[in-house]
A = this chain, B = another copy of it.
Amino acid sequence: MATQQTDGRRLTIREVAQTLGVSTATVSRAIHGRGRISPATRARILRQLEQLGYTPNLHAQSLARQRSMAVALEYLGEVEVLSDSFLVELARGVQKSLVPHRYRLLVNLTGDQEYRRSVLRQWIRARVVDGVIVVANPCIDVDWLAALAEEGVAAVWIAYDAPDPTPPRTAVVQLDLSTGWSEAVAYLRECGHRQVGYLGAYPDDPALAIIHSVAECCGLQLAPLIFAHSEMPADGYEATVRLLQHRPLPTALLARTDLLAFGAMQALQQHGVRVPDEMAVIGHDDLPIAQWMNPPLSSIQIDYAQLGRSAVELLMRLLSNPDEPPVPSRVATRFVPRRSSAPATPPQRRR
């Protein structure tokens, strides 16, 4: 079918128009269905375009309309080896929602925070992307996000709480951590746990406050609080070894992140603490790998598809009518119990 130019050149709209005996304007109108064109001509041209195998040059298109039809996904925080499972799941959710809008997704996977921020800035200024979706983890970096808004780009933030004054052209999808953690905490309480430890990476993480409040609500004591150097499993391991010094030892451990939980489980097991009998472990994000751990890791699930959908929907709205103030959106989380937090044979104190 598709007629090929053998010399590596592609067909241009001018050539196509010429062979079809119409003007370039008509071809363009046929392609986009915008402007005044008779349905008959349009159908005919579309059919012939298909035959010729013509594809418009995207750069020319982006230049002429002032839109690149691409958005960037950026993770505010250090992306290191493996810590991006979360990012990939999210990217997939976002990309899937982007397809019907004919938008592409750009993700930068490498470099440290500073470098990636500068790349994003370049992309915005060079008109590579029309909008950005920013995962603000653990906290909203208000200054930087304001600077982003200054660039005049449409932005959607995925965050744990909405910032007070939202900059222009900016919308927020709130990832509601309280739902999932409430379920988890209630579950633990029901299993007879009284004191649960917390393993996180940042003392100022909004998640900590949320967890603290839902635990209190439930009559659970949240202690001790242990902080790892980063959200990588290795640091979770190291922090958990420190946790083991504490007395009394909690009977359950809430890890801010699955990755931290992975490290924690290994530390516990290597130090002879049986999971879940002596210590229940619960993670967060429900990475696909969680169910394949030994024991399978209980975790708090994020509906990535929904998260992506909400973010994209808001972004598209910002792009089409820049002035209408966007309504914020909210996505709930859900506790998924697995064996790592199974109701223990009556919770035994260690030694």
Contact = CB atoms under 8 A, between A and B. Distances in A.
Interface residues of A, number: 55
Contacts of A62: 59
A314 to B, nearest CB: 19
Specify which of A58, A92, A126 lies most central, judged by the most chain B CB atoms within 10 Å of its CB. A58
A150 B95 CA distance: 28
A233 interface: yes
Given A294-B266, A294-B293, A294-B294, A95 B81 contact: no
B59 A63 contact: yes
A146 interface: no
Contacts of A294: 265-266, 269, 293-294
Interface string A230-262: 000100000000000000000000000000001
Contacts of A262: 289, 292
Contacts of A60: 59, 63
Given A104-B128, A265-B294, 5 more contacts: A57-B127, A104-B106, A105-B109, A262-B289, A293-B294
A79 to B, nearest CB: 9
A320 B96 CA distance: 35
Contacts of A126: 55-58
A228 to B, nearest CB: 14
Interface in A80-112: 81-82, 84-85, 88-89, 91-92, 95-96, 99, 104-111
